[in-house]
Amino acid sequence: MLADAEKGRFKFLFVDSTSRFTRGGCTDFWWLIAELKKRGVLVYSRYHRMLVLKSNSVVFSVSASQDREHNIKMARDVTRSSIRNVKDRHCEGGAEPLGRAVGRG
């Protein structure tokens, strides 16, 4: 995305939510916004109904922190669910020799 912004392929980024920018936390979020701004790109959040600007930093910093916590919780839940499915044998076995055929001891 930054490479495309550098080439001037877009000047405005309309996002449903800024949660995709928060996977690295608040610092990474503001770094990405700053990098887009350096390239002349404005970011608008439909969820917040406003441009992402430093003047709105409190709103977006709180939101970024909450989004990051949500992403961590979702990843943890998916991992736990995957482990549970394997333990309860609710999944197919993999091809040998990398996996184990289902039903074998």
This prediction's pTM:
0.57
pLDDT band at 39 (very low <50, low <70, confident <90, very high): very high
Encode the chain in three state secondary structure.
CHHHHHCCCCCEEEECCHHHHCCCCHHHHHHHHHHHHHCCCEEEECCCCEECCHHHHHHHHHHHHHHHHHHHHHHHHHHHHHHHHHHCCCCCCCCCCCCCCCCCC
Question: Looking at domain 2-87, does it have CATH number 3.40.50.1390?
Answer: yes
Higher pLDDT, 42 or 72: 42
